[in-house]
Amino acid sequence: MVTGAASGIGLALSVRFARAGAGVVMADVEGDALHRRAAELTAQGAQVTAVTADLTDPDAVERLADTAFDVLGDIDVVCNNAGVLGPVGQPLWEVPLERMRQVFEVNHWAHVLVARAFVPRLLERGRPAHLVHTASMSAFVVGAGSAAYAASKHADLAIARSLRADLRGTGIRVSVLCPGRVDTPMVQGLTAPRGAGGDTSVSAEDVAALVWEALGSDRFYLFSNSDAPLRLRDQFDDVWRHVSLPPPSPEEELWPAPKATTVAMEH
């Protein structure tokens, strides 16, 4: 079962699974594009079912789960992949709050709803399964002008880590997909904010291949771009530098004393 399946990484995942002979339920809010892609795959002999669903609606997510289990019987893989980019290039204090909320609704809350709808059913069946959350390198590396997207991806990373801990000892494995820049419609024509984009780009098919190779393994972090090690090292070096700093001495002046000012007064 793949969410955000009408384009980009979600479509590439759906294609990869379908061409391997798996039945696939493809879900997306963009119904026309979704059904067009599903029809193309069906014409090639794939077993796919398209479900138009607003994943920010709890009732719609429950209906999606009902449909997915009805169609597939048992589910081996859930790709919690739906996402939006939202406003970029604006500092936090200029981003409209409603736009920020919209980003969190899709990138965070929709992932929460999908996990809550599917995981209990997977546990009831007692079969091995794999839950893949699509986060981003922005869950680690934050550039200027990317507050909404980066914050939502940090939240999704935390959800994936929590699920991993909650499901330890069960047959359900959890991975978090952290791609850097991927050539998808979501980023076409976009100039990444300072420090946010990385220096490499991969295809959605490359990302799908990475996920495919990790299925059934205990690999938690899935990094798709070759510059990920350097970008991560820069982040953790910065953290470690602050951890290693000695505490200030009692004699150290933590805040500069205000400069004396002279105010001329007329009498």
Tokens 């959605």 belong to: 204
DSSP state of 186: G
Sign of the C-alpha dihedral computed for residues 224, 227, 229 and 234 taken in this order: negative
Whole-angstrom distance, CA of residue 208 vs CA of residue 42: 19
Contact by Cβ (8 Å): 140, 231: yes
3-state secondary structure of 129: strand
Contact by Cβ (8 Å): 232, 140: yes
Q: Shortest CA distance to 111 belongs to which of 134, 140, 137?
A: 134
Q: Shortest CA distance to 69 belongs to which of 128, 17, 118?
A: 118
173 φ, ψ to 5°?
Answer: -90, 155
Whole-angstrom distance, CA of residue 5 vs CA of residue 131: 16
3-state secondary structure of 250: coil
- Identity of residue 70: D
3-state secondary structure of 235: helix
Contact by Cβ (8 Å): 230, 198: no
Q: What is the DSSP string of 173-185?
A: EEEEEE--EEESG
The active-site residue, picked from 17, 118, 149, 223, is: 149
Question: Active site includes 149?
Answer: yes
Just list the catalytic residues. 149
